[in-house]
Amino acid sequence: MVTVTSWGRLSLENHSLVALDASKGLVAQIQGAKPGIAFGMGRSYGDICLNPGGIVWSTSGLDRFIAFDAQTGDLTCEAGVLLRDIQRLFIPQGWILPVTPGTQMVTVGGAIANDIHGKNHHRFGSFGDHVQIIELARTDGTFISCGPSIEPQWFAATVGGLGLTGLITQATIRLKPVAGPWLDTETIPYQSLEEFFKLADGSEADWEHTVSWIDCLAGSNGRGIFMRATPSLQTAKLPNRKKALKMALVPPVSLVNKLTLKPFNTLYFELNRKRAGKRLVHYEPFFYPLDNILEWNRMYGPKGFYQYQSVVPREVGQDATAEMLRAIKQSGTGSFLAVLKTFGQRESVGMMSFPMPGVTLALDFPNQDAVTEKLFARLDAIVREARGRIYLAKDARMPRDIFEAGYPLFEEFKAYRDPGISSQMSRRLLGS
């Protein structure tokens, strides 16, 4: 038994860890008396990848490329391959992952099971939109190949399927041509939500990537830093990578707290206001700003942290966001890690995928027990009323009614579950 945690570090419980080895027959390794769940890099925040007292199947050994077609950009690889390794290998060859989340330290299997999204949703949708084939191994010994044109129902269940439809063993992803590793970016401070939405809407046509940092203490007015980017034609060589910093220990209390948050946010806003304007930026700092601080999640102290990421439809987006910001300001808790962005007008391929047309707000909160719970109850009420949903990849606590309202296809999804697979999240939200 070893202790396993996820990115939020909210729990540290014993699991029996099975390191999957593709050369030994994967089915035999996932069959057993007790159910398990696939575990990649543990970058999801809550309990989607956890199974306390039970089995986790580590996919870190399934890290091989299988084939690459330089005509189509189709890359076939095992499920444990890191997005980082794909980017670093293929960008110099003129290919890039069309969709990437805010960290590249995630596996292909995890990216599919959470149907992750990036800053370019309005242009390229979510990760599942670029997956051609998924190979599933089921605990009953069967294998399923699925994709947009083969077994499309299995595909729809598996993309964003929380790892519950079978073990994703390998996948084929279509990469996108790219000139080089650079992005033309522009940083624009904004002083109100109205300004944010104007910027977001006005950028969709000409900019591939849009995202914003928001000051979670600014209240319903909302100030922040809007960032947009589009691939540059610059092809200058990769600079030498800076050595990553590391959060070497877990501080006894959260470094993000009432005393530090306000000065930090003010400083961050002012610094970026001074740096506003256009700039050429390498893809790594733009896409993955936090990857250069290893184990930054430790900064929230021994009790860990929650991330609350919701999406609400665009019609009510501005009001709901203002309401949530007001609630957060009143609660006096929060973090400087706060992101506001719009999703494009496109539905996700997965039955249980998170992205939907609307606006998404993501905020970290150090775990302060009752204070945090009380705030989340208020935020839940706003999401419920706005007919929004909460991102499963980030969740460790959402009430079941919010889940069921947010993911209306959950009953249909159950039919595709592998009975030999179960996680703490599936037991919490799906009942088994």
Report the interface residues with other proteins, using CB under 8 A. 1-2, 16-19, 21-23, 61, 64-68, 70, 75, 77, 89
CB-based contacts of 408-416 (< 8 A; 24+ apart in sequence): 409/351, 409/352, 410/352, 412/351, 413/157, 413/161, 413/351, 413/352, 416/153, 416/154, 416/157, 416/158, 416/161, 416/164, 416/165
Q: Tokens standing for 357?
A: 């047309």
Listed in sequence order, the residues at least 6 apart from 184 whose beta carbon sits closer than 8 Å to its beta carbon are: 229, 230, 231, 232, 278, 280
State the minimum distance, in angstroms, from the CB of residue 68 to other proteins. Answer: 5
**Residue 45, helix vs strand vs coil:** coil
User: At its nearest, how many Å lie between other proteins and the CB of residue 124?
Assistant: 23
Asked if 154 contacts 136 with a C-beta cutoff of 8 angstroms, the reply is yes
Q: What long-range pairs does 354-357 form, CB within 8 A, spacing at least 24?
A: 354/114, 354/115, 354/117, 354/126, 354/160, 354/309, 354/311, 354/389, 354/391, 354/392, 354/393, 355/115, 355/117, 355/121, 355/125, 355/126, 355/311, 356/311, 356/313, 356/389, 357/313, 357/314
Residue 175 or 375: the one with the smaller Cβ distance to other proteins is: 175
- Tell me the closest approach of the beta carbon of residue 59 to other proteins, in angstroms: 14
In 3D space, the residue among 373, 372, 320 whose CA is nearest the CA of residue 342 turns out to be 320
What minimum distance in Å lies between the beta carbon of 90 and other proteins?
Answer: 10
Q: How far is the CB of 282 from other proteins (least distance, A)?
A: 19
With CA atoms as reference, report the closest residue to 89 among 72, 106, 112, 65. Answer: 65
Question: Could you give the CA distance from residue 423 to residue 55 in angstroms, rounded to a whole number?
Answer: 9
| DSSP secondary structure string for all residues of 174-190 | E-EE-S-SEEEEEEEEE
User: Treating both helix axes as pointing N-terminal to C-terminal, what angle do 314-331 and 370-385 enclose, rounded to 10 degrees?
Assistant: 160
Contact in structure between 357 and 283 (CB atoms under 8 Å)? no
Q: How far is CA 290 from CA 10, 105, 286, 305, in A?
A: 20, 11, 10, 16
**Smaller CB separation from other proteins, 95 or 155:** 95
CB of 24 to other proteins, least distance (A): 9
What tokens appear for 76 in the block?
């076939």
Q: How far is the CB of 191 from other proteins (least distance, A)?
A: 46
Residue 34 C-beta: closest distance to other proteins, Å: 15
Please report how close the Cβ of residue 25 comes to other proteins at its closest, in angstroms: 11
- The amino acid sitting at 362 is A
Minimum separation from the CB atom of position 170 to other proteins (A): 11
For 393, list phi and psi in degrees, rounded to 5. Answer: -65, -20
Phi-psi category of 166—alpha, beta or left, where left has phi over 0 and alpha has psi -120 to 50? left
Specify the residue, 4 or 211, whose C-beta has the smaller distance to other proteins. Answer: 4
Q: How far is the CB of 93 from other proteins (least distance, A)?
A: 8
